[in-house]
Amino acid sequence: MTDFKSWRDIEFVKDKIENPHIYVGEYTYYAGYYNFRTFEDTCVRYLDDEEDNCDNLIIGKFCSIASGVVFNLGGNQRHRKDWVTTYPLYQMFPDDCPENGFAPMGDTVVGNDVWIGSDALIMPGVTIGDGAIIAAKSVVTKNVEPYSIVAGVPAKQTSKRFSDEIIKALLEIKWWDFPIEYIKKLMPFLASNNIELMINKSNELLRELKQIS
Ligand SMILES: CC(C)(COP(=O)(O)OP(=O)(O)OC[C@H]1O[C@@H](n2cnc3c(N)ncnc32)[C@H](O)[C@@H]1OP(=O)(O)O)[C@@H](O)C(=O)NCCC(=O)NCCS
């Protein structure tokens, strides 16, 4: 069962994951109160780890995952659209059906600092870029560009969060990879819309880090 006692409660997902096909970075959290159970229990579906070539779910650092988000894994979930029937015969009649029909769809990859809104459904094999926002109830069927906002069914880009030049700089800086003491120093600038100042401060810290190493 869950530890969520209110909508404010979160779990740091990395600390709770048991399945070796799910990789989650530090500080990524799930706020699952409205769906009662843990991230692994509710959000990750159909992960077919009986298959050797099973797809993985890979999520970066500092992502915010709202209640009810679903990652559909398990490749084609053993339903074959190219066969005469999509019915999973092997599952029901393993002694009679020679093939289980499993086909992988590729890993599902979520970057860093991604915000995924309530009840979004992420289809197998997509890549969501760093800094993206997935609107509530979206169905993500295709890759999402870094620092873009997507919404709807199927999810389409509604805007980009910043100019291409700023996005390029943020993707080079990768603030989420800084040691946490440095991220703490950056917090006044991360929690600000003065992005150019944040980029300058980050570059200063990066120079400092390079001198130390
Ligand atoms: C995506 C979101 C952040 C808004 O982003 P935004 O860029 O400010 O979007 P806007 O409100 O300006 O809307 C832009 C367009 O997207 C549409 N849109 C926004 N959210 C949408 C959604 N969930 N589904 C479909 N379309 C959506 C708007 O209708 C608008 O369409 P239009 O251009 O045709 O008028 C917000 O709608 C959202 O979904 N937030 C997640 C909230 C949540 O789940 N919180 C859980 C707790 S963390």
What is the CB neighbour count within 10 angstroms for residue 93? 9
Query: Where do runs of H (alpha helix) occur along the chain?
Result: 39-42, 89-92, 164-173, 180-190, 195-212
CATH 3.40.50.2300, applies to 11-161: no
The mean pLDDT value for 182-189 works out to 96
The answer to whether 128 and 119 have CB atoms below 8 angstroms apart is no
Give me the mean pLDDT over the 156-178 stretch: 97
**Cβ proximity of 182 and 209 under 8 Å:** yes
- Residue 1 has what pLDDT? 56
**At residue 67, what are phi and psi to the nearest 5 degrees?**
-55, 135
Q: State the pLDDT confidence band at 212, using cuts at 50, 70 and 90.
A: confident
Q: How far is the CA of 149 from the centre of ligand 1 (A)?
A: 8
pLDDT in tens, 70-121: 999 999 999 999 999 999 999 999 999 999 999 999 999 999 999 999 999 9
What's residue 2's pLDDT? Answer: 62
Residue 182: per-residue pLDDT: 95
88: buried, middle or exposed (CB in 10 Å: 19+, 13-18, 0-12)? middle
Best-predicted range by mean pLDDT among 24-38, 39-53, 154-168?
A: 154-168
Calculate how far, in angstroms, residue 148's C-alpha sits from the geometric centre of ligand 1.
12
For ligand 1, atom 18: residue with the closest CA: 151
Ligand 1, atom 15, residue with closest C-alpha:
158
Instruction: Report which protein residue has its CA nearest ligand 1's atom 14.
Output: 158
The set of catalytic residues is 79
Q: Ligand 1 centroid vs 208 CA: distance in angstroms?
A: 39
- Residues having CB within 6 Å of any atom of ligand 1: 64, 66, 117-118, 133, 135-138, 149, 151-152, 158-159
Instruction: Tell me which of 8, 158, 160 to substitute to probe ligand 1's pocket, judged by most ligand atoms within 8 Å of the beta carbon.
Output: 158
Domain-wise residue ranges, the chain:
11-161, 162-213
Q: In the predicted model, is pLDDT for residue 180 greater than 60? A: yes
C-alpha separations of 84 from 80, 81, 88, 92 in Å: 8, 8, 11, 16
Question: What six digits make up the tokens of 37?
Answer: 């159970």
Mean pLDDT of 14-30: 95
Average per-residue pLDDT for the chain: 95
Instruction: Give the total residue count for the chain.
Output: 213
What is the average pLDDT across 128-154?
98
pTM higher than 0.85, yes or no?
yes
